[in-house]
């Protein structure tokens, strides 16, 4: 009997899967309907597809896999009630997201003279991604703090409460999305907590868009903008301004254009997008599916022919797919030299090298330009997805793992 598998068309490497016992059907994850799913035995999705009773009721689906770390788009209770096996790709994109955060910090170093030296960096949510990020940050001159009420496994890093984490110079959000329990993460950065943030703070959200109340953030940043205009010294304005780097948004794939304009760096949910992460996610989900149905496991190793960036200059007029380039042997994380000037010079140099691996600013520029040109909400959502789909050649930094 042939197994019918319905899969999101943008899950990497599935198109090369050849098995006489498998009928593999590809679909658009955003427009997937109950009618599409009805006769499928297994469903493979990404975060853009909501999997619940409305989608699955009356279908033949016995297995659901998501090629993502997060599961807030999946009604896990419903799957359990129906006896539908579930798997995710938890941790597959951890190194890619950690790379993204370090590259965002590198953009700050180059653009504003920002330095991690003497700064306090709080990582909120210390799961797969938070742990990977802390391992990179510990090689810098920053003081690292961890915030996670559910586990304290990073023995080298002191743990603090969320309110203590809000006092840090840099705050990185990497939590799952929860709305219940003692520590809900939905709108954890609400209007009240935004007011607690110090001047000059850098907030990076590469976790869940709903962790920040986006409407409250627009109001907050507009208020900050008015205050900084009082002082005409640009360097002083920059020192006092609060910078938000956002990869995730409420209302995806149609983020608030006003918030996009106010963000220091804005990218369309691509922090975890790397060749390695996508292959790892595909492999984990398909491995679980094959084990569940007794199928032969295909080879999902990243092939030698996988796209690799050519060495480029930051000013190259390249397309979105060519953002950044693979690093050479000089690339590493930020230098931890104790000599102040030498450390500053090394930090600048290594930031430039790191940005050859991947440049969030170039994605930001393409995203803003495409979104600005969109004439309605529908075309804005299309440009959001198009940029995500086009990032096929980003590789992870081999010297950071």
Q: Is 295 exposed, middle or buried (0-12, 13-18, 19+ CB in 10 A)?
A: middle
Number of C-alpha atoms within 13 angstroms, CB side, residue 169? 13
- Quote the CA–CA distance of 77 and 79 in Å, as a whole number: 5
Annotated active-site residue in 220, 269, 394, 395: 269
Is 148 annotated among the ligand-binding residues?
yes
Which of 115, 121, 175, 170 shows the shortest CA–CA distance to 148? 175
Which listed residue (46, 208, 243, 284) is catalytic? 208
Known binder of ligand: residue 233?
no
68 is in an annotated binding site: yes
Distances 146 to 161, 249, 276 between C-alpha atoms, Å: 9, 23, 26
272 is in an annotated binding site: yes
Helices (H), ranges, 229-273: 234-240, 257-262
Instruction: Give one word for 269, left, alpha or beta, with left for phi > 0 and alpha for psi -120 to 50.
Output: left
Does residue 208 have an active-site annotation?
A: yes
CA gap 131, 115 in Å, rounded: 22
Token duo for residue 322: 């060519």
Q: Known binder of ligand: residue 47?
A: yes
357 annotated to a ligand binding site: no
On whether 273 is known to bind a ligand per the annotation, the reply is: yes
Q: Which of 85, 138, 143, 252 is catalytic?
A: 252
- Positions marked active-site: 208, 252, 269
- Give the residue ranges of the annotated binding site: 47, 68, 148, 175, 247, 272-273
- Give the residue ranges of the annotated binding site for NAD(+): 148, 175, 247, 272
- Give the residue ranges of the annotated binding site for substrate: 47, 68, 273
């Amino acid at each position: 009997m042939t197994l019918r598998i319905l899969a999101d068309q943008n899950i990497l490497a599935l198109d090369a899967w050849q098995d006489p016992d498998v009928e593999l059907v590809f679909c658009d994850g955003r427009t997937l309907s109950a009618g599409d799913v009805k006769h499928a035995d297994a469903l493979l999705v990404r975060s853009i597809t909501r999997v619940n009773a409305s989608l699955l009721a009356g279908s033949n689906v016995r297995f659901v896999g998501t090629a993502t770390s997060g599961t807030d788009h999946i009604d896990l209770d419903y799957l359990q009630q129906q006896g539908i096996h579930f798997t995710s790709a938890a941790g597959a994109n951890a190194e890619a997201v950690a790379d993204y955060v370090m590259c965002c910090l590198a953009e700050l170093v180059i653009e504003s003279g920002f330095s991690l030296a003497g700064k306090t960096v709080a990582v909120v949510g210390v799961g797969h991604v938070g742990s990977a990020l802390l391992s990179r940050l510990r090689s810098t001159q920053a003081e690292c703090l961890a915030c996670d009420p559910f586990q304290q496994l990073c023995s080298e890093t002191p743990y603090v409460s969320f309110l203590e984490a809000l006092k840090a110079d840099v705050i990185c959000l990497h939590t799952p999305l929860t709305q219940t329990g003692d520590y809900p993460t939905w709108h954890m950065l609400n209007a009240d907590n935004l007011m607690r943030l110090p001047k000059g703070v850098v907030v990076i959200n590469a976790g869940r868009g709903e962790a920040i109340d986006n409407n409250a953030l627009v109001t907050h940043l507009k208020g900050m903008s008015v205050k900084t205009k009082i002082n005409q010294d640009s360097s002083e304005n920059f020192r006092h301004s609060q910078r938000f780097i956002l990869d995730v948004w409420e209302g995806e794939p149609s983020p608030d254009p006003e918030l996009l304009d106010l963000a220091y760096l804005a990218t369309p949910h691509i922090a975890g997008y790397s060749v390695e992460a996508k292959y790892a996610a595909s492999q984990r989900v398909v491995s679980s599916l094959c084990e569940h149905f007794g199928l032969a496991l295909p080879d999902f190793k990243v092939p030698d022919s996988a796209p690799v960036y050519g060495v480029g200059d930051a000013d190259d007029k390249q397309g979105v797919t060519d953002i950044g380039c693979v690093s050479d042997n000089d690339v590493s994380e930020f230098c931890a030299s104790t000599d102040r000037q030498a450390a500053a010079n090394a930090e600048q140099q290594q930031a430039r090298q790191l940005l050859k691996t991947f440049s969030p600013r170039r994605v930001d520029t393409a995203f803003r330009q495409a979104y600005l040109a969109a004439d309605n909400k529908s075309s804005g959502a299309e440009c959001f997805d198009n940029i995500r789909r086009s990032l096929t050649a980003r590789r992870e930094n081999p010297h950071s793992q």
